[in-house]
Amino acid sequence: MMNIEQMLKNIPDLSDKPAVCLETTVLTHGMPYPDNVKCALACEEAVREEGAIPYTIGILNGEIKIGLTKEEIEELGKNTTAIKVSRKDIPYCIANSLTGSTTVAGTMFLANLAKIKIFATGGIGGVHRGFNETMDVSSDLTEFSKTPVSVVCAGPKAILDIPRTLEYLETQGVPVIGYQTKKMPLFYTRTSEYDLDISADDALQVAEMIHVSDVLGLKHGSLIVNPIPEDYSLDYSWMDERIQKALKMMEKDNITGKKVTPYLLDKLVALTEGQSLKSNVALIVNNAKVAGKIAYQLHSIKK
In sequence order, which residues have a C-beta less than 8 Å from that of residue 273 and are 6 or more positions away? Answer: none
Residue 252 is a catalytic residue = no
Residue 302 is a catalytic residue = no
Q: How many C-beta neighbours within 10 Å does residue 193 have?
A: 10
| Secondary element (H or E) of residue 119 | strand 118-120
Choose the catalytic residue: 84, 157, 289, 293: 157
In sequence order, which residues have a C-beta less than 8 Å from that of residue 11 and are 6 or more positions away? Answer: 64, 66, 113, 114
In angstroms, the Cα distances linking 44 to 116, 201, 206 are 15, 24, 21
Asked whether the beta carbons of 99 and 76 are under 8 A apart, the reply is: yes
What is the 8-class DSSP label of residue 14? -
| Secondary element (H or E) of residue 176 | strand 176-179
In sequence order, which residues have a C-beta less than 8 Å from that of residue 175 and are 6 or more positions away? Answer: 198, 209, 213, 222, 223
Residues designated as active site: 23, 157
